[in-house]
Amino acid sequence: MSGLAILLAQRGFTIVGSDPAPGKATLERLIASGVTVHTLQDGSRIPQNTQLVVATAALPSTHPELEAARSRGIPVVKYAGMLGAILDSHNGVAVAGTHGKTTTAAMIVAALRGAGIDAGFIIGGHIPQFSAAGRSVNSDIFVAEACEYDRSFLNLTPRRAVVTNIETDHLDIYSDLDDVLAAFFDFTARIPPDGALFHNIDCPNTGRILQNLGCRKISLSTRHTADFEARNIRLDSEKTFFELFQQGKAVTEIILTQPGLHNVANALAAMAVGRDLGFEADDLASGIAAFEGIARRFEVKGAVGGTIVVDDYAHHPTEIRALLQGAASRYPSKRLIVAFQPHQISRTGFLFDELAACFGLADLVFVTDIFAAREEPDGAKRAKAIDLTAEIRGNGTDAEHIGDLEDLAHRVATVLKPGDVFLTVGAGNIYIVAARVLELLKKQ
């Protein structure tokens, strides 16, 4: 939503929005872009001359802001509807998938910059080197993250689309994996016949949505024969390297500063899109090499006395496992200490067994109370977190439950030793623990 607000402000619209608890950095970016932000959400702050209200899919239909808009006859659209209108007016690239869509979309923008193209974008994460999560520019190419939550991506009709992978998630919206697959099929069916779908064949579920699609289908892989392949992958403590093969022929070498095999797959998709748009591989690769990452995606927050502190948005078991694999490859032989904040009571219940089993590479895991997000918080957020902690221990990884974030920060600061890597993990507000731990370590 912040990226959309900034983009529309750049296009000359007067933007007023509300958030009961805006993050400091996001608020500063919005204000710097001329966006007015209110924290009161009772409908009284909607300006008299408002022509349109755009709402996140996370809001209930009974929200006071929405009720106030409807009572005044102001049209209301969801975020995805507005994004669809923007994408339709451009040579649109949409990136979908259970994991990796934010990073892949950002890498596409970075690759295109290497080729001299300043593409517009709206992405669900802040990109520090671009100083934004959204930008309006004069380029015809526009890159957007396409989210499956609430089936939002069915509002988009991109000329090119990437599907990174498909897994069971958002089970407050979908009944099961087949329901998720059906939605992804409906999304890809919206690609026009002269468009293209880029799909990662390393995920077996992506192959289940290809039947009867009329567009071009371009395969990607880090392990198998595909239209675009990442071969000869090498990882060291600072960078990741691989060779890009297109239609079986070596094209160029790719250098990444982001760790982990999952980021190789993300970069592969970005390169494939750039090549399909007609740009030179070496130019695109230079943009990938210059990509500095996304806030809260393996973001190194600092180091004190040899202890490294990293923050990451991972909240699905597959993402957490990939994060820890990337950390282990970048920091071999170091202890990995994790503070994990489960996201949503329902998601924690649906994915309980997988969450309990995904921390095998960690040496010690601290589990906080569940971040309720779109749900009304209740006693279950603590009880289920305690159960999850016990199950993690049962799977052989040392774990403790500390519900309060300030208490957690103090406990972590006493446990960390020089040379440890401490990771805050989750989609809620666990990131504040990373900053607090750094403060405490500096005082020791």
3-class DSSP state of 434? helix
Mean pLDDT, range 353-368, rounded to an integer: 97
> Does the pLDDT of residue 126 top 70, yes or no?
yes
Per-residue confidence (pLDDT) for residue 381, from 0 to 100: 78
378 has a pLDDT exceeding 70: no
Q: Answer yes or no: is pLDDT of 30 > 70.
A: yes
Q: What is the DSSP string of 350-398?
A: HTHHHHHHTTTT-SEEEE---B-TTSPP-THHHHHHHHHHHHHHHTT--
Residue whose token pair is 């918080």: 377
Banded model confidence at residue 259, pLDDT cuts 50, 70, 90: confident
> Sorting pLDDT into bands at 50, 70 and 90, what band is 374?
low
Question: Which residues have a Cβ under 8 Å from the Cβ of 158 and sit 6 or more positions away?
Answer: 87, 92, 93, 94, 144, 146, 190, 191, 195
pLDDT tens string 142-194? 999 999 988 989 999 999 999 999 998 887 788 899 999 999 999 999 999 99
Q: Answer yes or no: are the C-beta atoms of 335 and 415 closer than 8 Å.
A: no
pLDDT for residue 113: 95
How many alpha carbons fall within 13 Å on the CB side of residue 350? Answer: 19
pTM of the model: 0.84
- Three-state SS at 408: helix
Strand 91-96 to 120-127 pairing: unpaired
In the numeric block, which tokens belong to residue 305?
């006395």
d(CA 26, CA 22): 7
Average pLDDT over residues 384-395: 96
Q: Please write the tens of the pLDDT for every residue from 276-299.
A: 999 999 999 999 999 988 888 889
- Burial label for 302, CB within 10 Å (0-12, 13-18, 19+), is middle
Q: List domains and CATH numbers for the chain.
A: 2-74 (3.40.50.720), 81-289 (3.40.1190.10), 299-443 (3.90.190.20)
**Reduced to 3 states, what is the DSSP secondary structure of residue 339?**
strand
Q: Is residue 199 very low, low, confident or very high in pLDDT (cuts 50, 70, 90)?
A: very high
Which stretch, 19-33, 214-228, 363-377, has highest mean pLDDT? 214-228
| Whole-number pLDDT of residue 294 | 85
Residue 138 pLDDT level (bands cut at 50, 70, 90)? confident
Q: Per the structure block, which two tokens stand in for 51?
A: 């022509």
pLDDT at 142: 95
List beta partners, residue 36: 16
Q: Say if residue 1's pLDDT is above 70.
A: yes
Q: pLDDT band for 24, please (50, 70, 90 cuts).
A: confident
**Has residue 25 got a pLDDT over 90?**
no
Q: For residues 311 and 247, what is the distance between their CA atoms, to the nearest angstrom? A: 37
pLDDT at 127: 84
Average pLDDT, the chain: 92
Q: Would the pLDDT of 376 be above 90?
A: no
Q: Is 227 helix (H, G, I), strand (E, B) or coil?
A: coil
Place of tokens 């396409």: 146
The pLDDT of 419-428, averaged and rounded, is: 95
Pairing type for strands 299-304 and 307-312 reads antiparallel
C-alpha distances out from residue 47 to 11, 14, 15, 67, 73, Å: 19, 10, 10, 15, 13
Task: Count other Cβ atoms within 10 Å, centred on residue 205.
Answer: 18
DSSP assignment of 270-281 equals: HHHHHHHTT--H
CB 337 within 8 A of CB 412: yes
* Cβ–Cβ under 8 Å, residues 395 and 356: yes
